[in-house]
Structure 1
Amino acid sequence: MATHMPPKVPFGADPSPTGPSAFKSVVLQYEHLLDQLRPFTLYRWGGTLVMMLLFVLRILWVQGWYIVTYAWGIFLLNLFLGFLSPKFDPGMNDLDNDADAANEGPALPTKADDEFRPFVRKLPEFTFWVSTTRATLLAFVCSFFRVFDVPVFWPILLVYFFLLFGLTMRRQIRHMAKYKYVPWTAGKKNYHRPSSAGL
């Protein structure tokens, strides 16, 4: 009568995965969790906005960590610009870059008689959300360590941030107006193929 014996583990060896295999397992579980969250856009952004609000309330309550807040704001501004920008910039005049962009995928129409091409973002929505959530979580954690509480005159940082935000958004809006694209789909016309049921 044969019995099934578990494989022998050398004396002193831990049967749980360690080192690179344990790290790979954690990464796979993290990616699996992100894949499960992907369809729930409203809930994802709702949770991130709550986390952002908690971080801002913490900064206002403790009256410190302004340099962390400034770095967080600049990083979010950079992400937002990537979210608003097309993947293939129609303003590039370099022929090599245009040829590479044409080979990589669709570009924005630049003339009235060009065929419709969908807007492809430089930074997709899901990547934008993941990066925003990570940055907010990191900034929140940093606000608990005194080493990151560098004394600065915060009104100057605030004025500089709003000045940078205004100039950057003005340039982005001019680019959108010049090449006639809108980076969101709300309010756009939808063209449907006529149904064959009436024929």
Structure 2
Amino acid sequence: MESLAVGGGDDQSSSNNPLSEWSYAVSRRYQILLDKSTPHVLRRWIAFAVVVFIYVIRVLYIQGFYIVSYGLGIYILNLLIAFLSPQVDPEIEDVADGPGLPTRSSDEFRPFVRRLPEFKFWYSITKAFCIAFAMTFFIVFDVPVFWPVLLFYWLMLFTLTMKRQILHMIKYKYLPFTSGKQRYTGKRAGSTDDESLPKD
């Protein structure tokens, strides 16, 4: 392998090179692991459940860090809303261009495109739990609070936010959990053809 360093900057480039090469190699391996985990949806969510279980056990054992858990809950709620929302908000689309096509259920099927894709949702929520778990080792984040009030406030916030999201889904007639392309059977088409034929 040929050296790319030319001239008087050899000392500086050689001192920075090993560190940058190491960080690049680590980030590349990390990205490869993430790319390999992408198709394994069930395994990823099982791993997430294990992380959540460890975090919950840690918080219950310590009997503290409730403010960290509350902040984590607010962040999860924001991620969930982005996961359930369409990439293009129908309200903005209505104001800009009028109703988009197709407008009827008999029109061409368009799959639901999320604002936050499933993999990014999983990655963000798992990373948030890992960061919150690391925070439980620093006493500065253990702010004394009355946790039932925080839990009640979070449940109220969750209920109101999800109610607004469900009303938005009903108003603009979209479902965030469609899978694959709709398939039409020949029965439906055959039944309409039979009705149009004259009876003997």
TM range (shorter): 0.7 to 0.9
Give unpaired runs (5+ residues) of structure 1. Answer: 1-5, 100-106, 195-199
Bigger drift between 168-177 and 27-36 goes to 27-36
Kindly indicate whether the alpha-carbon contact (under 8 Å) linking 2:87 and 2:114 is maintained by their aligned counterparts in 1.
Answer: yes
Question: What residue ranges of structure 2 are gaps of 5+ in the alignment?
Answer: 4-9, 187-200
TM-score when scaled to structure 2?
0.77
- Listed one character per residue, the Cα deviations across residues 52-103 of structure 1 (whole Å, up to 9, x for unaligned) are 12111211121100010001111111111111000011112442xx59xxxx
When Rg is computed on C-alpha atoms for both structures, the one with the higher figure is: 2
| 3-state SS of paired residue (1:152) | coil
Deviation of the 1:189 alpha carbon: 8.1
Label 1:26 to 1:35 Cα distance change in 2 as closer, same or farther (>3 A): same
Question: For residues 103 and 145 of structure 2, what CA distance do their matches in structure 1 show?
Answer: 46
Q: What is the correspondence of 1:1-199 to structure 2 with a 5 Å cutoff?
A: 17-19=18-20, 21-92=21-92, 93-95=94-96, 98=97, 109-112=102-105, 114-185=107-178, 190-191=182-183
- Residue 193 of structure 2 is matched in structure 1 by none
What amino acid sits opposite 1:24 in the alignment?
Y
Contact 2:111 2:181 in 1 (8 A): no
User: What letter corresponds to residue 61 of structure 2 in structure 1?
Assistant: W
Q: How many residues align?
A: 179
Q: Structure 2 vs 1, CA of residues 109 and 52 (structure 1 numbering), >3 Å: closer, same or farther?
A: farther
CA distance in 1, matches of 2:16, 2:165: 55
Q: Which has the higher helix share?
A: 2
User: Is the 1:110–1:179 contact (alpha carbons within 8 Å) kept by the matching residues of 2?
Assistant: no
How far apart in 1 are the matches of 2:173 and 2:129? 33
Q: Deviations over 1:24-70 (max 9, x none)?
A: 22221111110010011000000101111211121112110001000
The two structures have a TM-score, normalised by structure 1, of 0.78
CA contact (8 A) 1:37 1:44 kept: yes
Distance (Å, rounded) in 1 between the aligned partners of 2:22 and 2:30: 12
Name the amino acid aligned to 2:81.
L
SS of 2:18's partner is: coil
State the alpha-carbon separation in 2 of the partners of residues 135 and 108 from structure 1. Answer: 38
Change (3 A) 1:114 1:189: closer
Asked whether the equivalents of residues 108 and 117 of structure 1 are also in contact (C-alpha less than 8 Å), the reply is no
8 A Cα contact 2:85 2:114, kept in partner: yes
